Structure 1
Amino acid sequence: MSTDSTSLNLKKTVEQAEDFLPLLGTDFVELYVGNAKQAAYYYQQAWGFQPVAYAGLETGRKDSVSYVLQQDKIRLVLTSPLQPGGEINEHVNKHGDGVKVVALWVDDARKSYDETTNRGAESYVEPYVMEDEHGKVVISGIHTYGETVHLFVERSAYNGPFLPGYKKYEPRFQVEPTGLKFIDHMVGNVGWNEMNKWCEFYAKVMGFAQLVSFDDKDISTEYTALMSKVMSNGNGRIKFPINEPAEGKKKSQIEEYIDFYNGAGVQHIAVATDNIIDTVTKLRDRGVEFLYVPEVYYDTVLDRVGEIDEDLEPLKELGVLIDRDDEGYLLQIFTKPVLDRPTMFFEIIQRKGAQSFGKGNFKALFEAIEREQESRGTLQ
Structure 2
Amino acid sequence: MTDPFDSEHAVLSVLVNDEGQYSLWPAATSAPPGWTAVLPSADRATALAYVKEHWTDLRPRSLVRRTRDAEEAGRSGRAEAGTSGRGEAGTSGRAEAAAGSAETFADMAVDHVAFYVADLAKATEWLTGGYGLTVYARSDGGTGGSAGARSAALGSRDIRLLLSQPLAAAHPGAEYVERHGDGVADIALRVPDAGAAFAEAVRRGARPVAEPADHGGLVTATIGGVGDITHTFVHRPAGADDHALARLVPAETAETAETAATGPDCGLGAIDHFAVCVEPGAMDATVDFYRTALDFELIFTERIEVDAQTMITKVVQSRSGAVTFTLIAPDPNKATGHLDEFLKSHDGPGVQHIAFTADDAVRSVDALASRGVDFLPTPAAYYRILPERLTPLRHSTAELERLNILIDEDHDGQLFQIFTRSVHPKGTLFLEIIERMGARSFGSGNIKALYQAVEYEQGRGTGSGR
Q: Which TM class, normalised by the smaller chain length? A: 0.7 to 0.9
Q: Report the equivalent of 2:226.
A: 145
The residue number in structure 1 matching 2:314 is 229
Q: Which has the higher helix share?
A: 2
Matches within 5 A, 1:244-323: 244-247=329-332, 250-323=335-408
In 2: Cα distance, 1:223 partner to 1:285 partner: 37
Displacement of 1:48? 0.5
The within-5 A match list for 1:135-174 is 136-157=217-238, 158-159=240-241, 161-169=243-251, 170=253, 171=255, 172-173=257-258, 174=260
Q: Cα gap change, 1:116/1:367 in structure 2, threshold over 3 Å: closer, same or farther?
A: farther
Q: CA deviation at 1:367?
A: 8.5
CA contact (8 A) 1:223 1:248 kept: no
Q: Which of the residues 291, 316, 319 maps onto 1:203?
A: 291
Instruction: Provide the C-alpha distance between the structure 1 equivalents of 2:136 and 2:453, rounded to a whole number of angstroms.
Output: 36
Indicate the SS of the match to 1:165.
coil
- Aligned partners of 2:382 and 2:450 also within 8 Å: no
Report deviation, 1:225.
1.8
1:28 aligns with 2:116: no
After TM superposition, give the deviation of residue 160 of structure 1 in Å. 7.6
Q: Which residue identity does 2:128 align to in structure 1? A: Q
1:324-359 per-residue CA deviation (whole Å, 9 max, x = no partner) reads 111111111111223111111111100011111112
Asked whether the equivalents of residues 267 and 364 of structure 2 are also in contact (C-alpha less than 8 Å), the reply is: yes
Q: CA deviation at 1:281?
A: 1.2
| CA shift in 2, pair 1:77/1:365, >3 Å | farther
| TM-score for both structures, normalised by structure 1 | 0.87
Distance 1:74 1:316, change over 3 A: same
Q: TM-score, normalised by structure 2?
A: 0.71
1:116-135 maps to which residues of 2 (within 5 A)? 116-131=201-216
What's the secondary structure of 1:296's corresponding residue? helix
Residue type of the alignment partner of 1:291: L
- Counterpart mapping for 1:182-221 below 5 A: 182-215=270-303, 219-221=304-306
Tell me the amino acid that sits aligned with residue 30 of structure 1: A
Mapped contact 1:231–1:241 kept (Cα < 8 A):
yes
Structure 1 residues 102 and 363: CA distance shift in structure 2, 3 A: same
1:97 aligns with 2:185: no
- Report the alpha carbon displacement of residue 307 of structure 1 after superposing the two structures with TM: 4.4
Q: Is the 8 A contact 2:169 2:175 kept in 1?
A: no
The sequence identity of aligned pairs, in percent, is 32
Residue identity in the other structure for 1:114: A
Does the Cα contact within 8 Å between 1:293 and 1:364 map onto a contact in 2? no
Contact 1:71 1:177 in 2 (8 A): no
Q: Residue 39 of structure 1 aligns with which residue? A: 123
**1:107/1:343 CA distance change after superposition, 3 Å:** same
**Shift in Å, 1:250:** 3.5
SS state at 1:235 partner: coil
Counterpart of 2:88 in structure 1 is: none
CA distance in 2, matches of 1:248, 1:27: 38
Describe the superposition over 1:276-308 as per-residue Cα deviations: whole angstroms up to 9, x where unpaired: 001111112212111111010111213312342
Question: 2:138 pairs with 29, 36, 54, which one?
Answer: 54
CA drift of 1:253 comes to 1.3
Task: Indicate the structure whose relative CO is greater, using CA pairs within 8 Å and at least 6 residues apart.
Answer: 1
Q: Secondary structure at the match of 2:421?
A: coil
Separation in 1, partners of 2:453, 2:147: 44
What is the Cα deviation at residue 58 of structure 1?
6.4
| Displacement of 1:62 | 3.2
Distance of 1:207 and 1:180 partners within structure 2: 28
Match of 2:164 among 71, 79, 84: 79
In 2, distance between residues paired with 1:346 and 1:57? 28
**Deviation by residue 1:62-92 (Cα, 9 ceiling, x = unmatched):** 3111100000100011000122343111100
Counterpart contact for 1:33–1:39, Cα < 8 Å? yes
Task: Indicate conservation of the 8 Å contact 1:228/1:244, yes or no.
Answer: yes
Which of 322, 325, 334 is the aligned partner of 1:240? Answer: 325
Mean alpha-carbon deviation: is it higher for 159-168 or for 111-120?
Answer: 159-168
Measure, in 2, the Cα distance between the counterparts of 1:315 and 1:34: 36
User: Relative to structure 1, is the Cα distance of residues 56 and 117 closer, same or farther in structure 2, using a 3 angstrom cutoff?
Assistant: same
My pick for the range that moved more, 293-302 or 147-156, is 293-302
The amino acid that maps onto 1:151 is: T
Give the direction of change, closer, same or farther, for the CA distance of 1:64–1:292 in structure 2 (3 Å limit): same
Partner Cα separation in structure 1 for residue 407 and residue 388 of structure 2:
11
Superposed CA RMSD in Å reads 2.1
How many corresponding residue pairs? 349
The aligned residue for residue 350 of structure 1 is 435
Contact preservation (8 Å) 1:103, 1:151? yes
Aligned 8 A contact 2:315 2:327 in 1: yes
